[in-house]
Amino acid sequence: MPRKLIAGNWKMNLAPSEVGAYAALLKERAAEAVEKVDLLVCPAYPALPLALAAFDESPVMVGAQNMHQELSGAFTGAVSGEMLIDLGIEWVILGHSERRHVFGEDDQLILQKLQRALELEMRPILCVGELLEEREGGRTEEVLRRQFKLTLGELEPKELKRLTLAYEPVWAIGTGLTATPETAQEAHELLRGLLREKLNEDAAETRILYGGSVKPANAADLLAQDDIDGVLVGGASLDPDSFAAIAASAPR
Ligand code: PEP
């Protein structure tokens, strides 16, 4: 079984000038937790170089929140995977629900980004998850199967092995509504089954994170579920104390 991965998505929060103090506190508060879990923070682009420097020689890893599918060219405002690699960044979140629903990214585009990230030997975290009306309409399984098939269906087993999946029900992101551990486990079990169809017993090696209003108070119960291999944390990752407390609540 892989170690649990506790990943923080800072979104458009924490300025470069705030990174030093954040890193100093997180390194202190999570000193014990990093013995048993993997810790990753994903700052906004301008904060990446400072975060890399601040976590240098620390087990805390640094990733990006997004990337463009092309390597370079006339794409004003965009950042390529190659530029991230040049900085020393391997991890990248792709297909986050805010990219899908606020910026209009569809499965086709997300697949292109995913293929590029894999070609560059990056470590993508692919987010999937249903909207509230899809859950209420009993369509969660159909949506997860569709998102899985459209983004991961064509990938080779060896490419899938570099991937981390994140189940992030859209209705639970930034809303304070968390999926119950049982509801989350059910979705993770489905995703594990889809991975198993492609990877057989190696499917256990692909981490599936849960994301959606994870806090110190609910993290332990979520992380205790069989198929929850870590968490992707938005709001609560902005405070090093709560992020460290979430990491500390993971079972070994
Ligand atoms: C996220 O941004 O991926 C997320 C899960 O946010 P929050 O923890 O704030 O719901």
Q: Is 121 helix (H, G, I), strand (E, B) or coil?
A: coil
Using only C-alpha atoms, the chain has a radius of gyration, in whole angstroms, of 17
Q: Which stretches does DSSP call E strand in the chain?
A: 5-9, 38-42, 61-64, 91-94, 123-128, 164-167, 208-211, 230-233
pLDDT (mean) for 134-142: 95
pLDDT at 176: 86
Q: pLDDT tens-digit profile of 185-217?
A: 999 999 999 999 999 999 999 999 999 999 999
pLDDT (mean) for 159-173: 92
Mutation probe of ligand 1 site: the residue of 168, 210, 215 with most atoms within 8 A of C-beta: 168
**Better-scored residue on pLDDT, 14 or 162:** 14
Q: Work out the mean pLDDT of the chain and round it to a whole number.
A: 95
Q: Which numbered atom of ligand 1 lies nearest the CA of 127?
A: 3
Q: pLDDT tens-digit profile of 38-67?
A: 999 999 999 999 999 999 999 999 999 999
Question: Domains of the chain (ranges plus CATH)?
Answer: 5-248 (3.20.20.70)
Mutation probe of ligand 1 site: the residue of 233, 237, 243, 246 with most atoms within 8 A of C-beta: 233
Q: Is the pLDDT of residue 160 over 90?
A: no
Amino acid found at 133? E
Nearest residue (by CA) to ligand 1, atom 7, is 234
Which pLDDT band holds residue 161 (cuts at 50, 70, 90)? confident
Rounded Cα–Cα distance for residues 102 and 119 (Å): 27
- How buried is residue 65: exposed, middle or buried, by Cβ count under 10 Å (0-12/13-18/19+)? buried
Rounded Cα–Cα distance for residues 131 and 65 (Å): 21
pLDDT at 145: 95
Which residues is 164 bridged to in the sheet? 125
pLDDT at 8: 98
Nearest residue (by CA) to ligand 1, atom 1, is 234
Q: Is 19 helix (H, G, I), strand (E, B) or coil?
A: helix
Question: Tokens standing for 229?
Answer: 């291999």
Rounded Cα–Cα distance for residues 233 and 30 (Å): 15
Residue 168 annotated to the active site:
yes
Q: Which numbered atom of ligand 1 lies nearest the CA of 166?
A: 3
Q: Which numbered atom of ligand 1 lies nearest the CA of 168?
A: 5
Q: Is the pLDDT of residue 17 over 90?
A: yes
pTM: 0.96
pLDDT at 158: 87
Q: Which stretches does DSSP call E strand in 60-110?
A: 61-64, 91-94
Q: Which numbered atom of ligand 1 lies nearest the CA of 173?
A: 10
Residue 96 annotated to the active site:
yes
8-state DSSP, 80 = B
Contact 48, 62 (CB under 8 A): yes
Identify the active-site residue in 90, 130, 134, 168: 168
pLDDT at 217: 96
**Ligand 1: which residues within 6 Å by Cβ?**
9, 11, 168, 173-174, 211-214, 232-236
Q: Which residues does 228 contact at the CB level (< 8 Å), separation at least 6? A: 181, 184, 185, 188, 208, 209, 210, 222
Share above pLDDT 90 across residues of the chain, in percent, rounded to a whole number:
91
Which pLDDT band holds residue 177 (cuts at 50, 70, 90)? confident
Q: Which stretches does DSSP call E strand in 169-226?
A: 208-211
Identify the active-site residue in 68, 96, 105, 134: 96
Cα 215 vs. chain centroid, distance in angstroms?
Answer: 15
pLDDT (mean) for 9-24: 98
